[in-house]
Amino acid sequence: MLLKSRLAGLFNLASRLILRYPGVVALFGFCSGVASFVLVERHAGLAKVIAAVMLASWLWLMLENSLRRGVERRFGWKVPPPLLRYVTQMVHQESLFFIIPFFFITTTWNSGQSAFTVLLGIAALISLIDPLYYQWLAPRRWIYLAFHALTLFAVLLTALPIIFHLSTPQSYLCSLIIAVLLALPSLLSFFPEWNWKSLIAIPLLALSVGLVGWLGRIWVPPATLWLTDVAVTMSIDDASRKPGNRLRQLSSRELHDNGLYAFTAINAPRGLKERIYHVWEHNGRRVDRIPLDISGGREAGYRAWTHKRNFPGNPEGRWRVRVVTEAGQMIGMLRFDVTQ
């Protein structure tokens, strides 16, 4: 009985402090999220622990009401609703500010990927600003659930490769399926009455959302893969695995005489093995797609390159080498020009 009363007092105290100093929750979510990213980047051994804590917090979030009723029924501890609301908000803040640095680094900003990362940034701002979060977002149930699903989708894209060493295509597919299942309650709100039409329409809507998510994967950055070094060069030092002189422009004669190397160093989570591609494009048209297998764990990135010698007869113009995953998500891009 004494323990129950003490816990009830602690819950009430926490609730009063949160109501009195609401900005502290936002500040804690921001600081802890950024600190988690720094720890994951610099200490690979902590990556699994932090990512697992993130997923556990989401499991609690999904089971919040059931757990609250169970605790109240079994122990008689009544958790104040304001405390639960702020814990939910803190999970959103912690998650968004943990993943945004990953996406900020991996986004190719001159591509459609910038739209996805900007959307995550807007979601993070909404989670920080109480009037927007509680007065605009929370009362609109379907928007709130969509916000919830988007945040979980991004968390899974970041956590699954770190914890389970899933490849980018596997992580994306698993994250998409979980996010679509979580979005089902928001789809149900469009059908206030149950009939045969709603039973057909809801699965079709869910499949449509999943299909749009899969087709839009080229707009989503690969959260845990990013380029640490890139170069277009005519030579590679095999012993040191370093590129020679870095080029932005060369003549067509030099290109045909020596060929060209596209060098990339890719940061990936420890233990992750992934196939990526160098897609060579001339004036916007794809001319080659060369596979590379990379392995994660090196702080400076896994160094790999492709050597292309077979160029068209008239190679003058703008060239680029897109570095993409097997799922089609772009990691980065190299550019160079060929003159006469």
CA dist 80 and 19 (Å) reads: 11
pLDDT tens figures, 28-51: 656 665 665 565 554 445 555 655
The answer, yes or no, to whether residue 324 has pLDDT greater than 90, is yes
pLDDT the model gives residue 312 = 85
Q: Looking at residues 193-206, what average pLDDT do you find?
A: 78
4 pLDDT higher than 60: no
Q: Which two tokens stand for residue 77?
A: 């501890």
Average pLDDT for 114-139: 86
Lowest mean pLDDT among 204-208, 223-227, 248-252, 298-302: 298-302
Contact 174, 217 (CB under 8 A): no
Tell me what pLDDT residue 42 has: 47
Hey, where are the domains in the chain?
A: 2-219, 226-339
Distance CA 190, CA 142 (A): 9
Q: Which CATH architecture has domain 226-339?
A: Sandwich (2.60)
Question: Are the CB atoms for 92 and 151 separated by under 8 Å?
Answer: yes
Are 155 and 95 within 8 A, CB to CB? yes
3-state secondary structure the chain: CHHHHHHHHHHHHHHHHHHHCHHHHHHHHHHHHHHHHHHHHHCHHHHHHHHHHHHHHHHHHHCHHHHHHHHHHHHCCCCCHHHHHHHHHHHHHHHHHHHHHHHHHHCCCCCCHHHHHHHHHHHHHHHHCHHHHHHHHCCCHHHHHHHHHHHHHHHHHHHHHHHHCCCHHHHHHHHHHHHHHHHHHHHHCCCCCCCHHHHHHHHHHHHHHHHHHHHHHHHCCCCCCEEEEEEEECCEECCCCEECCCCCEEEHHHHHHHCEEEEEEEECCCCCEEEEEEEEEECCEEEEEEEEEEECCCCCCEEEEEEECCCCCCCCEEEEEEEEECCCCEEEEEEEEEEC
Backbone angles phi, psi at 245, to 5 degrees: -60, 130
Query: Higher confidence at residue 20 or residue 152?
Result: 152
pLDDT digits (tens, 9 = 90+) for 264-302: 999 887 777 889 999 999 998 999 999 999 887 677 788
Please give the share of the chain, as a percent, with pLDDT higher than 70: 72
Give the pLDDT mean for 126-148: 81
